[in-house]
Amino acid sequence: MLVKLGGSVITEKGSYRTLRADALSRLAQEIKASGAAVMIVHGAGSYGHIVAARHQLQKGYSNPSQIKGAAQVMEDVRALNLEVVSRLNRAGVASVSLPPSAVAELSGGALSGLDLDRFGRYNDLGIVPVTFGDVALDSKRKFGICSGDQLMESLAERFRPERIIFVTDVDGVFTADPHSDPRASLIENVDRAALDALPRSQRNADVTGSIFGKIEVMMRIASHGGDAVAINGLAPGRLEAALRGQRVIGSKVVGGAE
């Protein structure tokens, strides 16, 4: 199983370095209770996007003032990753951190290299690889942002997971922002037609692309594995149920965005 713990579900995305500690601990316990073999990617949330956006790190190097910002983001996302790995280990899920700054390479913002063998070797040992959105070196721009979605796509293409689960702070993909629009309705099957019908809006400071870009990536990721679903990680029990292959409230992501 390949699991993406979104930054919106494990952090308060609009408040700098604010952890949803109870939610994260519960999600770790649900992963353990499911008995599933997993690889985990998590978003940076408020530990990464706010400072990265302020310094425009996603555009690459343009001036020396960005260096301090890049170093701060790397420190912050490691602090979040330590929280994730610590809670997984405490829940009985033996885990290891694989930071993109050490195992990934970008080229013009695209993920051009990832030490996938290292992920596989830890997985073979029964130690869950945990990676995350981070600053990484870029052969053309000096540095850039390696997003969790880029990592998900690369891992899915290599390891062909049985199931792919995107864990967010809402029930799935909606016709509008469910936080602000009471008329928003859940899209049970997310495909090209559903994507084209979505309104062009987004929330909070996110340097890894709009919701449309994310759904495009989700559909490509889904084409590399088995079932792909987007679920609400703030609803107790849903991640465990999804990992067990049970039907849960959410959106099925239909592969093939091209």
**Cα–Cα distance, 145 to 256 (Å, whole number):** 25
- pLDDT band with cut points at 50, 70 and 90 for residue 12: very high
DSSP 120-184: HHHHHHT-EEEEE-EEEEETTTEEEEE-HHHHHHHHHHHH--SEEEEEESSSSEESS-TTT-TT-
Q: What is the pLDDT of residue 14?
A: 87
**Cα–Cα distance, 49 to 205 (Å, whole number):** 6
pTM: 0.91
Instruction: Answer whether residue 109 shows pLDDT above 70.
Output: yes
pLDDT tens digit string along 29-42? 999 999 999 999 99
Residue with the larger pLDDT of the pair 2 and 219: 2
- pLDDT band with cut points at 50, 70 and 90 for residue 257: very low
| Domain ranges across the chain | 2-253
Residue with the larger pLDDT of the pair 200 and 113: 113
Report the CATH fold assignment for 2-253. Carbamate kinase (3.40.1160)
Strand order from edge to edge, sheet including 104-107:
110-114, 104-107, 134-138, 142-146
**Cα–Cα distance, 36 to 34 (Å, whole number):** 5
